[in-house]
Structure formats: structure tokens, C-alpha cells
Structure 1
Amino acid sequence: MKAGLLPLLALCGAVAAWLPHDKLRGVNLGSLFVVEPWMMMRKWESMGCGSLKSELECVSKLGQETADKAFRDHWETWVTEQDMDEIKKYGLNTIRVPLGHWIVESTVQKPGEQFPRGGMAYLDRLASWATAKQLYVILDLHGAPAAQTPQQPSTGQFVSTAGFFEPDRFNQAYAFLQAMTEHIHTNAAYNTTGTIQVLNEPVRDYSQAPLLLQYYATAYEKIREVEKKLGVSKDKRLTVQFMDKTWGAGNPKDVMSGKHGVAYDNHRYLKYAPVQHTKESYLSTSCGDSFGEAGNTPIVIGEWSLGVESSVEKTAEWEPTREQNKAFYTKWWAAQVVAYEKQAGWVFWSWKTQLGGDWRWSYSAAVKVGVLPEDAGKAAELSPC
């Protein structure tokens, strides 16, 4: 149960069940429990997964026992306690942890689903580190049963169509959410875990929106069911988070109006946005950015980066290793931070990558080369806005 919370994590029950008073300033631990091969190709190859596109394919190729060992080695080394110390040192207070439903192994349907086993022990270890270091934790269902969007390794399976949108798959997800809710509230390692996101980036198919909203409404009730059974007081209940309306798959507020302890998630990648892909445009867009449409507040910018549009990202004007470009990236980071802190805060994608000198997706690497300050609180004085 949540008890003896640290000063950073003072309860804010008037806004949400359990969100800190402070602005969230954090990083995603991408590719820890749901591998995205593009982020860590060297590691993926060393695991024996080579050109395979997803965890499911890798386990199927290697066989369960061999795959389990390969993934244990990955979990042991991809994010260490030293990483957590650095996150804290850099003025960050939050981690967002993408999870596949298979971390709750009882939700895996055999024989069609093959995923690595044993991840929960490593999640427990991570949560205990976060508690010891006063880091707030968001757990995010990143890989839903049968995939919530097609052709995305971030779901743990590279499939041609999203198979999530049917009752049996919803039931698997509810089982995951209920198991995680009970685990969080009955394990002291999770004393700083306050938010559970019920689904990351579902397919932008508006014909599925009614089904998605049905899933959202039931997911919320399933989480609260467990908390009522455990006797969790209202102010200690988890914040339940949903992708916001601007994601393009319906407005969760339609089924969450009047519900306690709700928050929203917005992903802000200008790389994919319909804007002019110039430095001036990126800065002006970020300086003028706003969020929380259609009553979707409190809202966290749960994913964003310094990645730029693919056609220009390797040109001299944008090349990250060129000294003359670094000042722009510092300003753009600061402009985004200032905009996102007008709401509940932000979580950068991601903490680490294996992209060589391209630190635009790696917070830790960007700090180490001096593009980002060691204190995230310096954004306001660095912002061009």
C-alpha cells in the first residue's frame, strides 16, 4: 500500500488519485521490457535476434529456454541502478516503463503467443530502485494482446492487422491490469508507482473508437474493483491514464467524465507533424504549443524527442554531431519543456539508445555531449520562447 510517501510525491487527490504536486520531468525506459530493435540493434543482434522485428519472433526463433536467458541478460544490463542514479542526478523525477502484457505470464495464450518469461522480478527490482531514489513511476501497457496497432515492434509483435479489438483480447488486457494493480498495492517496492496507462498508441482507426472507449470504461472499473477489494483509500488509488483525444482514436473523456483519478497522455513528435520542417518552424511551434483539448486534463506529454523529419535528419543543417547545430537542439529541448510544463509535465523518449552519435532519441547521451543541461530545471532560462 502507499505509505510514508516522500516529499516529492505529496498526494494531490483533488486533481488525480495519485499524481505528484511537482511537474513530472522524466524519461521513458524504452526497449527495457518491450524491445524496439531500431533503438538497440547491437544488443538485439547479440541476443540472437538479428533481423527479426519483434520479441514474439525472437522467442519463436530461439526457443523458450534460450530466449528466456537472452532476455534475462538484457534486463540485467539495459537499465541498471547506476542509470537510475543518473536520472536522479539530472534533475528528473519520473520514469515511464513500457510493458508488454506478457510480463504477467498468466495472460499469455499458448501455443500462439511466445514471449520472454521472468520479467516481473526485474520490474520489481526497478520499482524498488525508484522508491529508494524518490522517482515517480508510470507503468504503461505498451504491448497489448494481439497488438493494438499493426506493424509496430513496440507492441512486441509485428502483425499485419491490429487483433486487439475483440472481447477475448480485451479480457486478457483486463487480467493484466488487475494483476498489476494488485501487485502494485501489495508490494512495497512500488511505493512510488502512481500511474497505470491502460493502452499505448492504439490504431488511429476511428471505426474502432466505440470499441476502444468501451475498453477504456471497463479497464477503469477493473482497476478500481481490485482497489476496492484491497481496501485502498481514495487518495491512494492509482491514477488511470489514457491517450488523449488528439491521438485520433476517440475522446476518452466521453466515458471518464466524473471519474476520479484520471489523467491523459499526449505524444508530441514534430518529426511526424504537419509543420514546416525548419528550425524556425520547430521553435515557433513548440513555443506556441498547447494541450488538454476537450477536457483532457491533467495531461502529461508522455513521449517526445529531438528527432526531426526523416528526409532532413541526416543533412548538414540538422546533423547532431556538428557543433553549430547543438545550440539549436538545446533551445528546442528547452522550448518543448517550457510548453509541456504548462500542463502536468513530460517524459522524454528515451533514456538510452544504441544510435551511435545520434543522441536525439537518448536523454542520457544528449546530456553527456553537453546538449542538455545536467539540471532539467534550467529549461526556462535556456528557452528562446
Structure 2
Amino acid sequence: MTPDVFNGTDAVDQWTFDQNPSALQRLRNHWESFFTEDDVIKLASYGINALRIPIGFWAYDSADTPYRPGADIFLHQAILWARGQGMKVWIDLHGAPGSQNGFENSGHAGGVEWQQPENLQRTISVLQAIATKYGKLKYADVVVGIELVNEPISWGANNFNTTKEWAEKAYHDVQAVLENKRIKIVMEDAFMGPTSWLDVNQRINGNRPLNAADFAIDAHLYQVFTPDDQPLTQAEHIAKACKWSADLVLAKKANLPVYVGEWSGATNICVNSNGIIRGGTSCSTSGCQCEASLPVDQWNDGLVQQVRRYVEAQLDIWEANSSGYFYWSYKGPSAWGFDAGIRKGFIPNPVTSRRYRGQCGPI
């Protein structure tokens, strides 16, 4: 997401990056400049009222790893900035011991060893350290959620039933150290959908109403990674987004809070000068623009309009059927960047405003 940080190295993830002699200084330069108090003030002005902040386990326990600690200091600073703007914070354990998915976003690309017993327990220990600090009542006005782990896969080395059993144990272990019992303890759905967690929800939340439930699910909803999504037109992407409401409604009826913890405006579409839209990442006709391969500042009005339509359709679904939502991410390339979207106009400002109402019909 920030390739300039990696310049001059052959690193492919933080595990390999942190083995460079200059890693700690580069990280500090990044931490001090990438996200500042001015950014929090700007987000508040857009109508954003909460931040989901990812952090790796190594910020609290880097033993026997090459990881450089120190990120927790900047997480704490961001929490204080959020408090100053009346915003809430959800702390997301984005990288777990052993890597929960083998993706670079876990900190260590490659093998998945998260479900080894010692790594599952180590993950809980880190979560308890976070919960012990930020679950104190003095942070109750700002820290509202702790996410147990981000995007564990449910195939290969990970067994989904093991993930569910671990999440239930982790919930109880984290809950045990909280002073603020109103914090939401959130589990990413492991790519299985919120309704795959109804059994766990029943055991934890029972029949408590939605607003009183303290276990919640985080669903990440994208239309850019699977082969089936590649050929879709933007109208087809919007229709698919509208159908996401079905699972959210079922979860709501079962008193399971669901947050869309990651979503974006990104789809692989190309918009021709005559208005015809097709799936793809490149085109050669005059005036054609493709979302995935062109910097945002070069987008024409036709492309901006199509991306905004998709963004607004999703916002309508989240507002009607979820307990909350977080755009991925604040700064990023193409339609992955929320701040760029506000400036270019493919994200509403404020986020509650609409140009294209009723795309999903009555909600």
C-alpha cells in the first residue's frame, strides 16, 4: 500500500522488511508521517465517526521474530487524536503469530501456521494485553471494539471449525480482562459469511437484542478478487452489491451484529467514451479509461460517476442492514483510497449525501 517505504529492499512483507538494518528508522519515519492528527480532523469533517486501526501482534510480543516493535505507541496516539474529535476506535489484530492467512497483510507471506496450539494461545495473550490496556473504563469513550484476528483463511492449513472454537475461547478470555464490558469483541468471518457464525453467536450472545450483544462479526465485501467478478459491468457489480443485504438481514434477525469492516469502490471496469462499460483492466480505444490501471487524478467524469454509483449502492446497504462499516482504506491507490475518493468525488461528502438514490430499490 505504501511501496516507497520498501524502496531499495527486496522485502515482500514486514517479516523480510524488518530484517533490513534501516528498518526501524524507516518504520518510524512512516509511522510519524503517514497518518497524523490532521488526518483525523479531516475524517471527522467528512462525517466519519470511527476508525478501524490494524496492528500486528509483534507490537506487543516480538520474541523470536525479526519484527521491530514500536507501532503500539502510534496506535495510542491515534486513539487520543480520535478522542479529541469525538470519534471511536476499533483495534484490529491484523497479523497473528504463525500468519493466519499467508498473505503479506498478515506480516508474513507464505506458509500458514496460525492454528498450531502455541500460536493460537499466543494470539490470545496478545489480545489480552490489548484488552487489559484499552478495555479500561478510562478508554470507554473512545475504544469500542477489539477484533480478534483479521481474515484467517478457512482452507489449507486452517480448519474453519478450529477457527470458530478458537474465536469462542478468545472471546471469553478477552472478556475476562475487560473493565469496560460494553466493548464489542469482533471476529472476522474467515471468508465464510456472517450466517456461518450463528451457532457461535447463539452460545455467546444468546437472545440478547442486537444493541446489547457484545460479540460481533466483521465481513469484508469486495468484488475485485475472484474470477467471477472480472467480466462484470458496473451495473452488474451494483446488482451484486444489492444482494449482499440478504446475509446481513439474516444475521440481524438472529441478533448477530455485523460490521462491514472492509469494503471499497474498487471494481475492474473500463468506461468507454460512448458510455459503454465492460469488465477489464486495460483498453486501447480513444477516451477509454480503466479504474484499476489509471491514477485517480486522471479519471474523467464518466469513470468517477460509475465508481460513485457503486459506492453509493454499498453505502445504502450498509446503512440499512449493518451495525457499521469501515472503508479500506484511508490512503491507497485507485478506488482503495477514501481520502482520494472524497477529493475526486467518487465518495459522497458528507458520506450521508447521495446523487444516485434507490439503486437497490426499497431497503
- TM-score category of the 2 structures, normalised to the smaller one: 0.7 to 0.9
1:221-232, aligned counterparts within 5 Å?
Answer: 221-227=172-178, 230=179, 232=180
* Counterpart check, 1:318 vs 2:279: no
Q: Give me the whole-angstrom Cα distance separating, in 2, the residues matched to 1:219 and 1:379.
A: 40
Q: Aligned letter for 1:109?
A: A
Q: Give me the whole-angstrom Cα distance separating, in 2, the residues matched to 1:185 and 1:59.
A: 30
Q: Cα 1:265–1:212, aligned 2, differ >3 Å: closer, same or farther? A: same
* Counterpart check, 1:124 vs 2:92: no
Shift of 1:143: 0.2
Q: Cα 1:245–1:253, aligned 2, differ >3 Å: closer, same or farther? A: farther
Deviation digits for residues 303-328 of structure 1 (CA, Å, limit 9, x no counterpart) = 11111238713443534513221111
* Counterpart check, 1:279 vs 2:226: no
Q: Cα 1:57–1:250, aligned 2, differ >3 Å: closer, same or farther? A: farther
Count of paired positions:
325
Structure 1 gap segments, 5+ residues each: 1-38
Shift of 1:256: 3.4
Q: Aligned letter for 1:70?
A: R
Q: Give me the whole-angstrom Cα distance separating, in 1, the residues matched to 2:127 and 2:264.
A: 28
Deviation digits for residues 194-220 of structure 1 (CA, Å, limit 9, x no counterpart) = 111101111121861122122111101
Quote the residue 1:99 is aligned against: 55
Deviation digits for residues 222-263 of structure 1 (CA, Å, limit 9, x no counterpart) = 111112xx4x4xxx4321111237536993333332424111
Quote the residue 2:209 is aligned against: none
Q: Greater CA deviation, 253-262 or 296-305?
A: 253-262
1:131-142, aligned counterparts within 5 Å?
Answer: 131-142=83-94
Contact 2:62–2:69 (8 Å) recurs in 1: no
Quote the residue 1:263 is aligned against: 216
Q: Aligned letter for 2:237?
A: Y
Q: Give me the whole-angstrom Cα distance separating, in 1, the residues matched to 2:50 and 2:266.
A: 21
Q: Give me the whole-angstrom Cα distance separating, in 2, the residues matched to 1:257 and 1:384.
A: 34
Quote the residue 2:208 is aligned against: none
TM-score w.r.t. length of structure 2:
0.82
Quote the residue 2:267 is aligned against: 308
Quote the residue 1:7 is aligned against: none
What SS is found at the alignment partner of 2:20?
A: helix
* Counterpart check, 1:183 vs 2:133: yes
* Counterpart check, 1:347 vs 2:326: yes
Q: Give me the whole-angstrom Cα distance separating, in 2, the residues matched to 1:214 and 1:153.
A: 25
Q: Cα 1:314–1:92, aligned 2, differ >3 Å: closer, same or farther? A: farther
Which of 32, 43, 64 aligns to 2:5? It is: 43
Q: Give me the whole-angstrom Cα distance separating, in 2, the residues matched to 1:108 and 1:184.
A: 20
Which of 106, 128, 148 aligns to 1:155? It is: 106
What SS is found at the alignment partner of 1:146?
A: coil
TM-score w.r.t. length of structure 1:
0.78
Which of 132, 144, 149 aligns to 2:96? It is: 144
* Counterpart check, 1:59 vs 2:18: yes
Q: Aligned letter for 2:188?
A: M
Shift of 1:135: 1.2
Contact 1:279–1:328 (8 Å) recurs in 2: yes
Q: Give me the whole-angstrom Cα distance separating, in 1, the residues matched to 2:338 and 2:194.
A: 29
Quote the residue 1:203 is aligned against: 153
Quote the residue 1:362 is aligned against: 337
Quote the residue 1:16 is aligned against: none
Which of 36, 47, 70 aligns to 2:26? It is: 70
Which protein has greater RCO, CA pairs closer than 8 Å, 6+ apart?
1
Q: Cα 1:79–1:40, aligned 2, differ >3 Å: closer, same or farther? A: same
What SS is found at the alignment partner of 1:97?
A: strand
Contact 1:340–1:346 (8 Å) recurs in 2: yes
Q: Aligned letter for 1:61?
A: N
Q: Cα 1:210–1:296, aligned 2, differ >3 Å: closer, same or farther? A: farther
Quote the residue 1:242 is aligned against: 187
What SS is found at the alignment partner of 1:240?
A: strand
Identity %: 23
Q: Give me the whole-angstrom Cα distance separating, in 2, the residues matched to 1:299 and 1:123.
A: 24
Q: Give me the whole-angstrom Cα distance separating, in 2, the residues matched to 1:248 and 1:381.
A: 28
Quote the residue 2:274 is aligned against: none
Deviation digits for residues 8-59 of structure 1 (CA, Å, limit 9, x no counterpart) = xxxxxxxxxxxxxxxxxxxxxxxxxxxxxxx1112332xx5x3411111011
